[in-house]
């Protein structure tokens, strides 16, 4: 066994342990963030050296080491790096627990990296629980009523979703006698189609797997935890949860469905499931976001709608799994652009909330006059979430919807475009308040150098992916090509 292939995860795990021990002996807590960032750089360097290598596996084919896994490892490392930079102005709210905060961020990232690499149902569940438990603790970190309520709701509903997922795994194992994804695929391929569709255990198991994953990506009807958790959690944790957990969920969905259930007869069926979930998620998420007055709750419902757009890509993957990888690469590109966009929006919200001590949209009035650069950054991110050029969101939706059209899902794309128009109302409402509202008080929004650097990196990424998407799209295509049949 070549443990060198696990060096990215080992580096993050070691960094988390070091941060906890250093926290016991130093008074200068700024050192903890520097250690965490250094560990992420080391982990990213190890992951980058694996790019372009041949497929291999670890622990008796329980973990895969391929370009798909490396793509997500680098994505998760980048997400945590930006979240830690943006946390500099926020961590004073839990000064006594900064070591635990950074360690939990890193441990959740380790779980996400393992989720993207898992090739076995057992390792899938273990990595998912490592991520989930870390996130449960992070959501309740403020220890006030709202934060504790959000953590409890997330824990209870997350435990229920994990039970549903585990039951689905048990049914699939009972039907195939295998837990490794490749072996499950071989068993199913050896069976005549008549047996596949006459087995309640397999079909129910597949539906339960989709339901369990649906909770992780905040898809309707598994989204009930999102608004309260987004509002009650510390804002950097909300940012982390909104992009990291969603990216990990879609990574494992692609891995499991394409590796184990990628046969055309089965893929068309789960393609229909995701098409239906996409319509419901887009519509409910956008309509529920319209009346929101709290910007974190609004972005919570927005994330439900964004999951719907991503499921348009999953539907295209289901209908075109044996022909090309446009759907898969479109999903990967969308996740990268969404991560930069949503992180940028939440980073701006961190700075603004620290200034006004409020997350109410009305309190953003006149921000364009008080802090024009901060308002401009938030405006860019909101425009990207709508899917307007020249931001990354436009190209992300273009690639995703183009793939769906090629596979005959024009009706689904029409619904997605209509929903994008609906979403413009509540996103542009925030823009209108910032640039045309009358400020209730004077004073600029001040922020640390780390937060400003994180916001600049996000905004540059949003612009570059919108203007020059080819490089990242080629990387996404190369990462997804391993699933081509």
Cβ within 8 Å of residue 287, ≥6 positions away: 422
Q: Using one digit for the tens of pLDDT, what is the confidence trace for 317-347?
A: 888 765 567 778 888 999 999 999 999 999 9
- Is 293 in the same domain as 234? no
Q: Using one digit for the tens of pLDDT, what is the confidence trace for 109-119?
A: 999 999 988 98
Q: Is residue 212 part of a domain?
A: no
- Is 472 in the same domain as 362? yes
- Can you tell me the distance from the alpha carbon of 461 to that of 375, in angstroms, rounded to the nearest whole number? 17
- Is 22 in the same domain as 57? yes
- Is 267 in the same domain as 246? no
Query: What is the arithmetic mean of pLDDT over 52-79?
Result: 86
- The pLDDT value given to residue 104: 92
Q: Using one digit for the tens of pLDDT, what is the confidence trace for 393-404?
A: 899 999 899 888
Number of structural domains, the chain?
A: 2
- Is 338 in the same domain as 357? yes
- Is 227 in the same domain as 267? no
- The pLDDT value given to residue 1: 57
In the predicted structure, residue 280 carries a pLDDT above the cut 90? yes
- The pLDDT value given to residue 485: 46
Structural domain including 243 reads 1-158+220-252
Cβ within 8 Å of residue 452, ≥6 positions away: none
Rounded percentage of the chain residues whose pLDDT exceeds 90: 34
Q: Is residue 147 part of a domain?
A: yes
Q: Which band of pLDDT confidence, cut at 50, 70 and 90, is reported for residue 197?
A: low
- Is 280 in the same domain as 393? yes
In the predicted structure, residue 263 carries a pLDDT above the cut 50? yes
- The pLDDT value given to residue 308: 92
Least confident among 61-65, 111-115, 236-240: 61-65
In the predicted structure, residue 193 carries a pLDDT above the cut 50? yes
In the predicted structure, residue 227 carries a pLDDT above the cut 80? yes
Q: Is residue 171 part of a domain?
A: no
Dihedral angle over CA of 85, 50, 115, 42, nearest 10: -30
Q: Is residue 167 part of a domain?
A: no
Q: Which band of pLDDT confidence, cut at 50, 70 and 90, is reported for residue 50?
A: confident
In the predicted structure, residue 92 carries a pLDDT above the cut 80? no
- Is 226 in the same domain as 354? no
Least confident among 111-120, 184-193, 311-320, 447-456: 184-193
Q: Is residue 310 part of a domain?
A: yes
- Is 14 in the same domain as 139? yes
Longest CA–CA separation in the chain, Å: 72
| Cβ-based neighbour number of residue 390 at 10 Å | 15
Predicted TM-score of the model (pTM): 0.92
Q: Is residue 123 part of a domain?
A: yes
Q: Is residue 417 part of a domain?
A: yes
- Is 241 in the same domain as 364? no
Q: Using one digit for the tens of pLDDT, what is the confidence trace for 242-262?
A: 899 899 999 999 888 888 887
- Is 232 in the same domain as 274? no
Q: Is residue 197 part of a domain?
A: no
- Is 139 in the same domain as 286? no
């Amino acid at each position: 066994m070549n443990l060198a292939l696990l060096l990215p995860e080992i580096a993050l795990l070691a960094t988390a342990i070091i941060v906890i021990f250093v926290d016991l002996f130093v008074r200068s807590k700024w050192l903890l963030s520097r250690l965490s960032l250094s560990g992420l750089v080391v982990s990213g360097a190890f992951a980058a050296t694996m790019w372009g290598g041949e497929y291999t596996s670890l622990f008796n084919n329980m973990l895969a080491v391929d370009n798909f896994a490396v793509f997500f490892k680098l994505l998760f490392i980048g997400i945590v790096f930006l979240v830690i930079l943006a946390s500099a102005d926020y961590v004073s709210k839990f000064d006594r627990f900064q070591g635990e905060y950074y360690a939990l961020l890193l441990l959740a990232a380790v779980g996400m990296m393992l989720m993207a690499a898992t090739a076995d149902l057992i390792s899938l569940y273990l990595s998912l629980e490592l991520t989930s438990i870390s996130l449960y603790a992070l959501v309740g970190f403020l220890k006030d009523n709202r934060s504790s309520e959000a953590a409890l709701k997330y824990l209870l509903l997350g435990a229920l979703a994990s039970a549903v997922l585990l039951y689905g795994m048990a049914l699939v194992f009972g039907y195939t006698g295998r837990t490794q994804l490749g072996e499950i695929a071989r068993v199913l391929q050896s069976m005549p189609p008549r047996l596949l569709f006459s087995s309640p255990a397999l079909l129910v198991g597949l539906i339960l797997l989709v339901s369990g994953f649906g909770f992780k990506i905040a898809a309707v009807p598994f989204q009930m935890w999102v608004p309260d958790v987004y509002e009650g959690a510390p804002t950097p944790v909300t940012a982390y949860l909104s992009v990291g957990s969603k990216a990990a969920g879609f990574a494992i969905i692609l891995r499991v469905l394409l590796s184990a259930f990628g046969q055309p007869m089965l893929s068309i069926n789960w393609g229909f499931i995701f098409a239906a979930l996409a319509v419901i998620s887009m519509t409910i998420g956008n309509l529920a976001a319209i009346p929101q007055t709290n910007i974190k709750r609004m972005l919570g419902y927005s994330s439900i709608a964004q999951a719907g757009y991503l499921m348009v890509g999953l539907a295209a993957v289901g209908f075109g799994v044996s022909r090309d990888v446009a759907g898969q690469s479109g999903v990967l590109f969308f996740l990268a652009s969404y991560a930069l966009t949503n992180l940028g929006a939440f980073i701006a919200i961190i700075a603004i909330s620290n200034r006004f001590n409020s997350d109410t949209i009305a309190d953003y009035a006149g921000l364009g006059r008080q802090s024009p650069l901060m308002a401009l950054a938030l405006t860019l991110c909101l425009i990207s979430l709508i899917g307007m050029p020249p931001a990354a969101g436009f190209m992300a939706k273009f690639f995703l919807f183009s793939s769906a059209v090629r596979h005959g899902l024009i009706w689904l794309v029409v619904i997605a475009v209509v929903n994008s128009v609906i979403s413009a109302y509540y996103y542009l409402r925030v823009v209108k308040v910032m640039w045309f509202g009358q400020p209730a008080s004077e004073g600029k929004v001040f922020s640390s150098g780390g937060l400003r650097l994180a916001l600049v990196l996000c905004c540059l990424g949003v612009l570059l992916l919108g203007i020059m998407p080819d490089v990242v799209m080629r990387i996404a295509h190369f990462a997804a090509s391993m699933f081509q049949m």
